[in-house]
Structure 1
Amino acid sequence: MKVIPIMVAVFAIVSSMQAQSTYTIKGNGKLIQDGDKLYLMYRQKGQSYLDSTVAKNHRFSFKGTISGEPFTASIYRNENPQFADIVRESLGVYLEPGTIVVNSKDTLKGATVGGTPLNNTYQLLQNKMQPFRHKYHGARNVDDLTAEERKDTALVHATEKAEIKRFKERVQIELDFAKEHPNSPVSLDVIVRYSGVRMMIDEVEKAYNALLPTLQSSEKGKYVHGMILKTNEIKVGQAMRDFTLKDMEGNIVQLSAFKGQYILLDFWASWCKPCREEHPNLKKLFEQYGAGNFKIVSVSIDERKNDWLAAVAKDQLTWTQLLDNTGTAVAKMYGVTSIPSNVLINPQGIIIKKDLKGGALVDELTSISANL
C-alpha cells in the first residue's frame, strides 16, 4: 500500500531522530466483499493523505506510521473521498500506536472500533449516541423537504425547530460524555467540535472546565479557551457595541444611528449556504415589520466586494447592507465564531436575543410585534 498526498506540497526535511509510531488497522465484515476497495483518509501537519487497500475474505487492513499525537482519520468503502461529494459508507477512527480493530456486522458506517485506548473510548461515545440515533432515525431536516413542501411556511418552521431541538440534544449528550471522561483526548475533540456553537457555549465551557489541566493547556485546549472567551464577549443583557462600516454605495453607516428601534444585526457571507437560505425568511419579516420600529442591518464578512454585491443583488435584499472585509473587526467585536449569526437589540441598545433564525426569529418578533 502506498500513501499518496492529495495535494502537491513542498516537502519539509524531517529529522531522522523524530520518533514515529506504527499503527495497524484490521477490519472485517460480512458485507465487505472480495475486491472492495477501502480508503483511509487523514490530515497530518496540514497535509491531506489518502491510503487504499483491497478487501479479501471479508477482511481488510492498513498499516502506517504517525509522528506526534494521535489524530482522527476516516475509512471509506468503494468511494474515493477525494472525488465523492457525499460519502455515506464511512467510519471514523483514531490513528494511534497499536492494532486498531474494526468489526462490521452490516455497513461500515455502523461498525465498532477498538483495540487501542482512544478507539476504545471513542466506541464508548458511539454507544452512548446509539439511543439518540435510534430515537430520531428517519427524522427529516429542512434540507429533506421537497420544493413543494418548502412553500408551506408553517411546515418549514416546525421542521426547523425540531431540527434545532435534535441538534441541541445531540450536542448535550456528547458534552455530557466529555464531562464523564475528563482525562481523554476524545473528550477534548468533542469540545473542540462544538466550541464555535454559540447557542451551546455555556455547556461547552462546563465540559472544558471539567477537563484535566494537561488537556486544557494543550494546543487544542488553548483554542477552545480562546473560543469561549471570544463568544462570551457579547452576552444577552449587554449594551450593543457601536461601529461604522461602509454600505453598498460607499457611505459610512454607524450602528448607533438605528438606536431607538429594534435592530437585527445579522452576520453572513455570499459563500455561506445557510446564510443565503435564511434570506427569504428575513425578507418576509422585513416586509412585515420594516416600515415600523424594526430594522435589519446585515454585515457581510466577504473578502471580495464583488461577491458580496452580487449576492445582495441575486437575493434581492433591500435593507441596510454593510461590508466587514478588513480583518472582520466588527464580527470579532460581536464574538462571531461562525455564520450565520445575529443579535437582536432593543430600542435602548441592549442585546435581548442571540442567534435566532427561521421559526425562532418569527416567534420572537411576533412576541414583541406590538412594539414594532
Structure 2
Amino acid sequence: MRKILFCVVFVLACCVVHAQHAGQYKIAGKIAGMESGRVVMKQKTMEGYNELGTSDIKKGHFEFKGETSEIQSVQLFFDNQRGSLILFLEPGKIQVAVKRDSIYYGKVTGTPTNELWGYFNGEERRLEKVEMECAQAYQKSFETKDREKVRAATKAFTDATKARKVFRKDFLNHSEHKYVAACFYRTSLMQKLQYVELDSLVRSYAGMENNNDVRLISQRRDLMRGVAVGAKIPEINLPDIDGKSFNLSTLKGKWVLLDFWASWCAPCRREGKHVFELYKEYQSKGFEVLGVSIDQNPDAWKKAIKEDQTTWKHVLDQKSEVAKTFGVSSVPRVFLIDPEGIIVAVNLYGQELSDKLRIIFDDL
C-alpha cells in the first residue's frame, strides 16, 4: 500500500512540474575517483552529437548552468572515460553523482523527469536481474529431473518475464512519462522498430515536436518509410568479391533476399546456413540472395564467404553507406523483395522465412 501511495504522490508531483517546461537549470555534479579533467555536454543528432557546453572538473566537482524552453535529454561525457550519462535539462537544481569507470550507472536527482528516469532504469535493472535469476533456476531445475521443480521454475520464469514486460509497457504508456519514454525509445528501441511502429510512436507525441528525442524518432521514421513493406527497393551499387561493380537491379524479375551481415556476426553466420538450404531448394524457381557485408576488413569478409560456402552474390559495403540508407544499424537485417522490386517483408528468419518462401514458390 505504501508503495502504491508513493507512486501516486510521485506522479502527481510530476504533473505539476511538467507544466513548467521553461526556465533556469543548474547541474551540480560530483565524480568519485577523478579530481580533474573536463566534462562535455552533448546532444544526439542523426549525424553524431552537438556539443552544448563544457565544464572543468575541480576536486571532483563540476557545474553547468543554463536555460531551457523544453525538457530535453542530453549526455555527459567525461575525459578518458567510457560511456556517457543521460540526464534531462529542465528547470531546477539537478544533482549528478558518478563514479569513474562506471559513468553509465551514475545517479541523477533533483528534478521530476530525472527522478522518473532514475526510477524507470532502476526498476528495469531490478526486474531484468530477477528474470535472469529465474532463467538460471529454470536451467538448473532440469538437472534435478524433478517434474514439480521444473514446473515451478518454469512458472517463476514466465511470471518474471511477464512482470518486466508489464512494467515497461505501463510505464512507457503513462501520459505523464512522455519525456522519459521518448528518450528510452530513442536510445534503446528506435533502431529495432519498423516504419509502421515508428509512425504510430511519432503520432503519440503530438505537441512535442521541439523535443530532440521525438525529432530523432521522426527522422528515423522518415528514413524507414523508404524501406518499409510496400516500398520500391532503393538501388544498390557496390563492389563484389572480385572488385567489380554490381547493381541490385540486375536481379529484377526474381525473388531476392537482401541480407545485411558481417563476418564477425555469429547470428548472421548461423542464419546463413539456414538460408543456404533454402537457396538450394528454391534457386531454380527464381530465388536469389544478395549478401551485403558491412565488414571493414575485406579479407575477413572473403574468408567468411569461403568458410560458409555461401554461393550467392556478395557485395561489400565497407563504409556502411548503403546500410545507413536502409536504416541498418545492426546485423543481421534482411529484406525480401518481389520480382518487381517491391519490399514484401522485413526481418524474416528461421521458420518464418521458410514458411514465407514455401507459400511463394508453391504457388508458382
- Smaller-chain TM-score range? 0.5 to 0.7
Q: Distance in 2 between matches of 1:323 and 1:24?
A: 45
Q: Give the one of 102, 110, 113 matched to 1:118.
A: 113
The answer to whether residue 180 in structure 2 is matched with residue 186 in structure 1 is yes
Q: CA deviation at 1:297?
A: 0.8
Runs of 5+ unmatched residues, structure 2 = 1-23, 43-48, 67-71, 99-103, 140-160
Partner of 2:312: 319
* Equivalence for 1:206: 200
Corresponding residue for 2:28? Answer: 23
Shift, 1:126, TM fit: 5.0
SS of residue paired to 2:184? helix
- Equivalent pairs, count: 294
Q: Distance in 2 between matches of 1:344 and 1:183?
A: 37
**Given residue 356 of structure 2, which amino acid in structure 1 is its aligned partner?**
E
Q: Distance in 2 between matches of 1:132 and 1:369?
A: 44
1:170-189 superposed Cα distances (whole Å, 9 cap, x missing partner): 5x974764443467532221
Write the deviation string for residues 93-127 of structure 1: whole angstroms up to 9, x where unpaired: 7477445799xxxxxx9999865312321255358
* Structure 1 unaligned spans of 5+: 1-18, 27-36, 52-61, 75-80, 83-91, 103-108, 145-165
Pairing partner for 2:276 from 280, 283, 297: 283
| Deviation at residue 232 of structure 1 after TM alignment | 1.2
Dislocated runs of 4+, deviation >6 Å: 109-113
Q: Structure 1 pair 202/238, CA: closer, same or farther in 2 (3 Å)?
A: closer
1:298 aligns with 2:296: no
- Among 320, 323, 331, the alignment partner of 1:331 is 323
TM-score (norm 1): 0.58
Q: Map of 1:1-372 to 2, 5 A cutoff? A: 21-23=26-28, 44-45=41-42, 64-66=62-64, 71=74, 94=87, 97-99=93-95, 115-123=110-118, 125-126=120-121, 133=128, 136-137=131-132, 170=165, 174=168, 177-181=171-175, 184-194=178-188, 196-211=190-205, 213=207, 215-325=208-318, 328=321, 330-371=322-363
User: Aligned partners of 1:276, 1:43: CA distance in 2, in Å?
Assistant: 39
* Distance in 2, Cα, partners of 1:286 & 1:135: 42
TM-aligned CA deviation for residue 199 of structure 1: 4.0
Q: Give the AA of the match of 1:65.
A: E
Offset at residue 341 of structure 1 (A): 1.4
Judging changes above 3 Å, is the alpha-carbon distance between structure 1 residues 299 and 73 closer, same or farther for their aligned structure 2 residues? same
- C-alpha contact (below 8 Å) 1:175/1:204 kept by paired residues: no
Identity across matched positions, percent: 24
More helix by share: 2
